[in-house]
Structures are given as C-alpha cells and as structure tokens.
Structure 1
Amino acid sequence: MKTMNRRSAIALGVTAAAMAPLFTTATVAKTKKYGPKEGKEIAPGVRLVEVGTGNSDIPAYKSIAIVDLVFQPGAHAPQSVMPNDMVCTITSGAFTIKKVDKEFKLKVGDVYTCSKGKTDEATNTSKEVGVHRIAMLIPA
C-alpha cells in the first residue's frame, strides 16, 4: 500500500471541503424513501441506488458519481476495499463504521471519507432504514 503524498492529501481535502455544501443541502431536504426493490442488492438488506453523475472541475478527478446505499434496520455491509476516494454522509439512520485502525458511530448529517484501496464496513444500528449518500471521485 502506498503512502498518500502531499498533493493527493491536499486534493482530497479540497474535494471534501467542496462537497460539504452538497451534503449539507442534501441533509436539510427530506430523505427520499426507497422501495425495497430499488437499486441493486450488494449485501443482504443493502441496496445501491445510482443518483447521478457529473464532470469534475477538480484536476485529480474526471467525474463524480453520487450513489445512495440503502440499509434495512440492522443490515450490514461486510468489509470491502474502496475502489475510489469517496466522501460520504448519512441522510437517515445511524451507523457504526469499521476501518482497519478505528471504529466510529455516525448519525444523520455526519460526514466521513474513504480512501481508494482502504477497507471499510458499515452496520445500520438504527430501527429505521438508513441511507449513506456517497460521492465517488473518479480519477482523471
């Protein structure tokens, strides 16, 4: 695994800062209610719904894809390797996130990041349907 260089760290930081207004606006709006069969099932009780894509003005990334991961109450997405850098926010529910070196809890409006090549797993710890809104940053 390569260490993140200064340029990549700055690019990811600027990207996260630039994405914050998008997520802040998204959490103020009412979360879309998804049907039980919308999107593609990626784990038991976890579905991926494509929201949209767009071009990026950030030099390190050619485009950004927005997806919602919809978790049924108690559903768990097992550990997986992140295919891209990502900025994530919780739009409904509450989650426990496990990374190699830490574990933390998130609630509606919380934002966190994932780095390409790192692992992550998530569990919806609430009694409601939980949604992660994810901005996947596609490299140039």
Structure 2
Amino acid sequence: METMNRRSAIALGVAAAAVAPLFALARSATAKEYGPNEGKEIAPGVRLVEVGTGTSDIPAYKSISIVDIVFQPGAVAPEEVMDNDMVCTIAAGEFTIKKADKEFKLREGDMYTCAKGKTDGSTNTSAVVGVHRIAILIPA
C-alpha cells in the first residue's frame, strides 16, 4: 500500500470537506427512487443518472459532478480504472467494493474514495435497489 505524505493528506482532507456540502445539497444522502429506464445503462442492471454539476473552489479541480449509480439487487459494476478522483457515499443498499489491493463491505451512509488511475468495482449485495452517490472531481 502506498504511503501518504502530509501534503497529500491535507489535500484529501480539504477535498473531502469541500465535497461534503454538495452531498447535503444534492437531496441529502437519501436516495431518490429512479424508474427502470432513467439514466444510461453502464452494465447489466446498473444505470448512471446525472444529478448536477457545480464549479469548485478547490484549486486542483475546476468542477464537481454529482451522479447516482443505481444498482438492481445483485447487479455488478465490474472493476475498471477510474478517470477522475471521486468521493462516494452509499445512499441506499449494501455493497461489496473491490479495489486492486483490498475488498470491503459498505452499507447506507458509509463513504469511501476512488483515486484517478486506480481500479474499483462494486456489487450490490442487498435485496433492494442500491445507489452510490458520487462526487466526481474534474481536474482544472
């Protein structure tokens, strides 16, 4: 596992603090119920719904885009390389998250991060429709 220097830790802390209010403004952390055809299908049983975009006051990022990834029960978003840094929260359901070096379980209200260039995959392990609310940090 890579070590994190003080500067990186501070930058990550500032980014997380700046993104937290966006989650609150984007309909709290409660998941909206989406219809079966809303958004764009990105994997079988997995749809991406755009929630909104705003400008960023974080110097490293020009904007932040909020999306909901909607998973049917048992649906899988296979591991893929992340194009951007992201802050993710589980708005509904329970998930197993798989990264290159670890695997962990999350439930509603839990948060995690994804780093640009790293892999990430998700499986909805609950019997309900699951939702990841993701803040995608768009570089300046």
* TM-score (ref. length: structure 2): 0.90
What 5-or-longer segments of structure 1 have no aligned partner? Answer: none
Q: Structure 1 residue 9: deviation in Å?
A: 4.1
In the other structure, the counterpart of 1:65 is 65
Task: Describe the SS at the equivalent of 1:11.
Answer: helix
Residue pair 1:65, 1:136 contacting (<8 A) in 2 also: yes
Percent sequence identity is: 78
Q: Measure, in 1, the Cα distance between the counterparts of 2:52 and 2:6.
A: 30
Which piece of structure 1 moves more, 42-51 or 15-24? 15-24
In the other structure, the counterpart of 1:37 is 37
Q: Measure, in 1, the Cα distance between the counterparts of 2:60 and 2:112.
A: 19
The answer to whether residue 136 in structure 2 is matched with residue 136 in structure 1 is yes
Residue pair 2:72, 2:129 contacting (<8 A) in 1 also: yes
The answer to whether residue 14 in structure 2 is matched with residue 14 in structure 1 is yes
The answer to whether residue 7 in structure 2 is matched with residue 23 in structure 1 is no
Q: Deviations over 1:17-40 (max 9, x none)?
A: 23234436722xx42100000000
Residue pair 2:18, 2:58 contacting (<8 A) in 1 also: no
In the other structure, the counterpart of 1:102 is 102
Q: Measure, in 2, the Cα distance between the counterparts of 1:83 and 1:101.
A: 18
Q: Structure 1 residue 98: deviation in Å?
A: 0.5
Q: Structure 1 residue 16: deviation in Å?
A: 1.1
Residue pair 1:84, 1:115 contacting (<8 A) in 2 also: yes
What 5-or-longer segments of structure 2 have no aligned partner? Answer: none
Task: Describe the SS at the equivalent of 1:10.
Answer: helix
Q: Structure 1 residue 13: deviation in Å?
A: 2.2
CA RMSD of aligned residues (A): 1.9
In the other structure, the counterpart of 2:82 is 82
Aligned residue type for 1:59 = P
Aligned residue type for 1:126 = S
**How many corresponding residue pairs?**
137
